[in-house]
Chains A and B, each alone.
Chain A
Amino acid sequence: MNITKDLKKLVSKEEDINLKNKKTDILDSLDLTYSLQKEEYKYTPLLKIVDKKFDLLKENKDQISQKSYEEVAKFVNSKFYLISVDGYFKSELSNIPPKVKIKKYSELEREEKDTFENMYQKHDDSKSDFFSSLNSIIHEDCLTISVDSNTVLKEHITIININENYDVNNYRKMIFCDKGSEISIFERFINLKSDENFSSSVSEIYQAENSKLNYYSAQDFKENYHYNSINVFQKRDSVSNFFTMSFSGSIVRNNLNICLHDKSCYTNMYGFYAMNDKSLIDNHTSVDHVDENSLSNEHYKGIMGGRSNGVFNGKIFVRKKAQKTNAFQSNNNIILSDKSKVNTKPQLEIWADDVKCSHGCTVGQMDDDAIFYLMSRGISRKDSISLLLSAFSSEIIEKITDEKMKSLLTELIKKQLEKFNDE
């Protein structure tokens, strides 16, 4: 990527004057020396994609190929679905649920725009993260999802993002959950492009009082690079649940930043990653407890096989005002192969005294005694191992309350765990 030149070109093409100003600001402050990124990308050489000379410029192809059409059909497993191809939202292919407004940012009416304009680029980490800044400048359509107050959607919305034609695809969305609403989202990325590519996705989520959000994502990027950043801003008594499952990818980086900005907020962050071959999964999470009585609960589990590398960094901040906070964090890893690695850093920063915070992390391997126990009952070694691995994953799966999602994700994990049979 010839970054600066291409980016300037892209910014100059922007029509919305407000956006153009915002983008220019970001471009001006873009840290091209990456010095700020050193600690955050200590184990994750994602910056090397910058040297890959990917082409940033593209034209919107209106047609979706027959192949994508067929692929998409496989992934649609719910009544409501939103489809984007190469970063462009395709409303004609999507099925939009009632009481939920889904539009491109550029097509918003004046009064709708206010809500999102206040939100736009406010809660993301584009000031501190190079790839978020990059996405802010070069993303295609920005999808806005606005859930009316007290709307409760029983069925989850599937968001399908397809990388089909270009080297670099950037997705952006904003979700506004109004008071008392409740929705579930299942996000998937599909790669149809055969050559190496890079995709990025930045989401900004605003949860008003008493709203509830369940967010599931399953990542299967094969030999490609991906950057994902989800930024959540929660108001009083809101609840969020995140489930992030990662199965493959040359380098996959997930940022999950949650700001519990008001009293009595509640968030659960669960992650499961099972990688083999030469791949790298990096989960960076941060929870910022700003006000009293909130609770955060985080649990990430991983199985590393092949030449994979697992990186975990969990940050918990408890501000002075956030008394009576409970914050828990834990990260467990199993290393299956001699060539795989784990780098984990559970980090706590606490300024309030009346809190209960803990973090724990473990790195270990299969328990020989447990395998022996199963084998002594006539189960083959191979089956014993896969039984134990699925038991390891079930601790995360059990946390899913939606039965449909639970069976969907169990199926995906089962398929992935089969790959470890030979190790």
Chain B
Amino acid sequence: MSKDDKILKDFTSKEYEHGWSVDFEVDQAPNGLNEDIVRLISKKKEEPNWLLEWRLDAFETFKKMKMPNWANLKIPEIDLQSISYYSAPKKKKELKSMDEVDPELIKTFEKLGISLQEQKRLSGVAVDAVIDSVSIGTTFKDKLSELGIIFCSFSEAVKEHPDLVKKYLGTVIPSKDNYFAALNSAVFSDGSFCYIPKGVRCPMELSTYFRINASNTGQFERTLIIADESSYVSYLEGCTAPMRDENQLHAAVVEIFAASNAEVKYSTVQNWYPGDKDGKGGIYNFVTKRGICSGDNSKISWTQVETGSAITWKYPSCVLKGNNSIGEFYSVAVTNNYQQADTGTKMVHIGKNTKSKIISKGISAGNSQNSYRGQVKVMNRASNSRNFSQCDSLLLGNKCGAHTFPYIDIDNKSSMVEHEATTSKIGEDQIFYCLQRGMDEENAIALIVNGYAKDVLKQLPMEFSVEAQKLLSLTLEGSVG
């Protein structure tokens, strides 16, 4: 076995670092999906009647829908009836300060490297940590509320700001949008809610960590971010899940609404358990993410680094409705072993002078399949709109695949649309150049891959950038194509 193969093998046989699970006392609903479960979730969360109606309506739609099969994925049949749709750590008492937080939970955060206290004191990041569907601790809330920023768990928002939730919920992604969005709308458990009032620039990065903890719990997060006129917010989402043998389903919905002159930056690092080297286990990640640039001069920017999940089905999109609005999508998707990813974006140009930019970098190794699927749609009235797309793929080894499916639909004569894509391996000459300068092969590859993904990585906020670079170097150690 050559050195390269050995390194590749060593890496691929690496166990999942974040694989552990903490036993809380869990309040869990019985397995199965039916109208009663939807009612139960709503009742447990003490929701108003309109929200229950909305859930039931979505559930009715969902029952009529079929699992989509257009993606370039092999999805084993998912038995929705064998999943529990609600699990919440049992409430011991009202939590007012960090000291009251379950010590088990604090341990969880420490293992994840996001100790709440430390975060609060040192990094200036407000963390709304979501563990198995219910928000446990929310920090920096007071500081944010001084500015009028609402950043809380979704269920809290339903109780305290019902008007806002009612006004925006489902406006960007209607419950009928697709199979998984409908499922989420019916049974979503919790998530984050964020409202930035007019003219406010959020002084810190808002962050939330999702963790799927209890086994066999479908995680149905719902995030709603509303940026009112001339506001700015940068939102971070990080995901890790413990190691489990059975596949776990994750069907989240993220909606972003940007009013005129508002700017929203949404960053994700996803390193959920991808399954072991034989493709056993891992998370199924079916996420619907969409933002609407509703007002003029608004901007939404998606940045994602996807290294985890057994199956990823994810298309963060922008609807550019306001004139001069801007949509951006930066993505690095890495697949290894038997991972499958079908990811990309949709840019829908409706307003005049709208601009969009897509930078997608796919890296496949092992036996994985990595697909980019994107659409750029320019409507007839979107005059002078502009798009630039670049989607590159890097192949490491000859058992993996890289696929590109870009749809470009142009219905306007004054628009400019450019798309380019390349597929290649790491050049021997590039490695040779580095070796010649005294680097070893592993460092050379890490350097080249980081350079390859740099356009995306530099879009990430500091806190994530370091983690993402580490993840990338780790994933691709020693894999000469």
Contact = CB atoms under 8 A, between A and B. Distances in A.
Contacts of B399: 320
Given A320-B398, A350-B402, A361 B419 contact: yes
B406 A358 contact: no
Contact of A343 (B404, B409, B414): B409
A237 to B, nearest CB: 24
Interface string A301-332: 00000000000000000001001000000000
A348 B403 contact: yes
B404 to A, nearest CB: 4
A363 B397 contact: no
Contacts of A415: none
B423 A348 contact: yes
In the A-B complex, the 9 residue pairs with the smallest Cβ-Cβ separation, listed nearest first, are: A353-B395, A360-B420, A348-B404, A357-B423, A363-B417, A335-B413, A358-B422, A363-B410, A342-B410
A323 B398 contact: yes
Interface of A: 39, 43, 320, 323, 333, 335-338, 340-365
Residue among B408, B412, B417, B420 with the highest chain A CB neighbour number at 10 A:
B408
B418 interface: yes
Contact of B408 (A337, A343, A358, A365): A343
Q: Is the interface of A mostly helix, strand, loop or mixed?
A: strand
Contacts of A359: 404, 419-421
Contacts, number: 115
A290 to B, nearest CB: 15
6 contacts: A323-B398, A335-B412, A336-B413, A347-B406, A348-B393, A361-B418
B400 interface: yes
Given A348-B421, A357-B424, A360-B421, A340 B413 contact: yes
Contacts of A336: 413
A353 B419 contact: no
Contacts of A338: 380, 412-413
A388 to B, nearest CB: 15
Nearest to A353: B395
B408 A344 contact: yes
A393 B400 CA distance: 38
Contacts of B396: 353
A352 B396 CA distance: 9
Residue among A336, A348, A349, A353 with the highest chain B CB neighbour number at 10 A:
A353
Given A338-B412, A341-B410, A363-B415, A347 B404 contact: yes
Contacts of A360: 418-421
Contacts of A357: 422-424
Residue among B393, B397, B409 with the highest chain A CB neighbour number at 10 A:
B409
Contacts of B26: none
A320 B407 CA distance: 25
Contact of A358 (B70, B416, B423): B423
Nearest to B411: A341
Nearest to A332: B418
A356 B401 contact: no
A348 B423 CA distance: 9
Given A323-B398, A353-B397, A362 B421 contact: no
